[in-house]
Chain A
Amino acid sequence: MEANPIVLDDAAGDVVVVVVEGEHDIYTAPTLRERLEEALGRGGGIVVDLTGATFVDSSVLGALLDARRRALEAGQGYVVCVGETVEPGVQRILDITGLVPVLPVLRGRSEAIEAARTNGDAA
Chain B
Amino acid sequence: MSTAPEVLLTMPARAEGVGVVRQALAGMADALDCDAAVLADMKMAVTEACTNVVVHAYDEAEGMLEVEMLAADEGLTIVVRDHGSGIHPRPSHHQPPALGLGLPLIAALSDSFELKGSAGEGTEVRMTFAYARDADPARANPVTGTVGKDGRWDPDASSRGGAPAGG
Contacts and interface: CB of A to CB of B under 8 A. Distances in A.
Chain B binds chain A: yes
Contact of B54 (A26, A33, A61, A102): A26
A92 interface: yes
Interface in A1-39: 23, 25-27, 29, 33
B102 A25 contact: no
A92 B44 contact: yes
B46 to A, nearest CB: 10
Interface residues of B, number: 39
Contacts of A98: 143, 146, 160-161
Contacts of B102: 58
A42 interface: no
A50 B160 CA distance: 22
B47 interface: yes
A101 interface: yes
B124 to A, nearest CB: 19
Say whether chain A's binding surface is mostly helix, strand, loop, or mixed: helix
Interface residues of A, number: 34
A61 B108 CA distance: 16
Interface string B98-109: 110110010011
Given A89-B43, A98-B143, A58 B101 contact: yes
Given A92-B37, A101-B161, 10 more contacts: A23-B19, A25-B19, A55-B22, A57-B47, A58-B105, A62-B101, A69-B151, A78-B166, A102-B163, A119-B165
Interface of A: 23, 25-27, 29, 33, 55, 57-59, 61-63, 65-66, 68-69, 72, 77-79, 88-89, 92-93, 96-99, 101-102, 104, 115, 119
Interface of B: 15-16, 18-19, 22, 36-37, 40-41, 43-44, 47-48, 51, 54-55, 96-99, 101-102, 105, 108-109, 138, 142-143, 146-147, 151, 159-161, 163-167
Chain A to chain B: the 10 pairs with minimum beta-carbon distance, closest first = A88-B40, A62-B99, A104-B165, A27-B15, A58-B101, A119-B166, A26-B15, A98-B160, A26-B51, A57-B47
